[in-house]
Amino acid sequence: MNSNEKRLYVENTLSQQLILFWLAGNTLFTILYVNNMDVTSRLGLFVMVNIGLSLFAFLVAVRQKVYMLQWAYLGIGLAFFQFARLFWIPEEIVNPIRLYAQVLLVSTSVAALVGSIICVQRSRERQAYIDENNIDRAILQK
Partner 1 sequence: MHELVLKNIDKIYPGGVQAVYDFNIEVEHGEFIVLVGPSGCGKSTVLRMIAGLEEITAGDMLIKGERMNQVAPADRDISMVFQNYALYGHMSVYQNMGFSRTIRHEAIDILHEKVMEAASVVQLDEQLNRYPKNLSGGQRQRVALGRSVVSSANIILMDEPLSNLDAKLRVESRRALTKLHQELDNTFVYVTHDQTEALTMATRIVVMSEGRVQQIGTPYEVYHQPENMFVGGFIGSPPMNFITGNIENGRFIADGFDLAIPDHLLAIVGSFSRGPIVLGVRPEHFKNWAAEGHEPIKAEVASREYLGNHALLYLKIGSFQCIANLRLDRAGAEADASELYIDMSTAHFFDPQTEMRIKSQEEMA
For residues 123 and 4, give the distance between their C-alpha atoms in angstroms, rounded to a whole number: 9
For residues 84 and 101, give the distance between their C-alpha atoms in angstroms, rounded to a whole number: 13
| AA letter at 5 | E
For 79, counting Cβ atoms within 10 Å of its Cβ (0-12 exposed, 13-18 middle, 19+ buried), the class is buried
The least CB distance from residue 107 to partner 1, in Å, is 27
For residues 101 and 82, give the distance between their C-alpha atoms in angstroms, rounded to a whole number: 11
Residues 4 to 43 in contact with partner 1, rule: CB under 8 A: 5-6, 8-10
Site stretch for partner 1 (CB under 8 A), options 1-9, 15-23, 46-54, 101-109 = 1-9
3-class DSSP state for residue 1?
A: coil
Residue 139 lies near partner 1 (rule: CB under 8 A): yes
The least CB distance from residue 13 to partner 1, in Å, is 11
Residue 137 lies near partner 1 (rule: CB under 8 A): no
The least CB distance from residue 126 to partner 1, in Å, is 13
Write out the residues near partner 1 by the rule CB under 8 A. 1, 5-6, 8-10, 136, 138-142
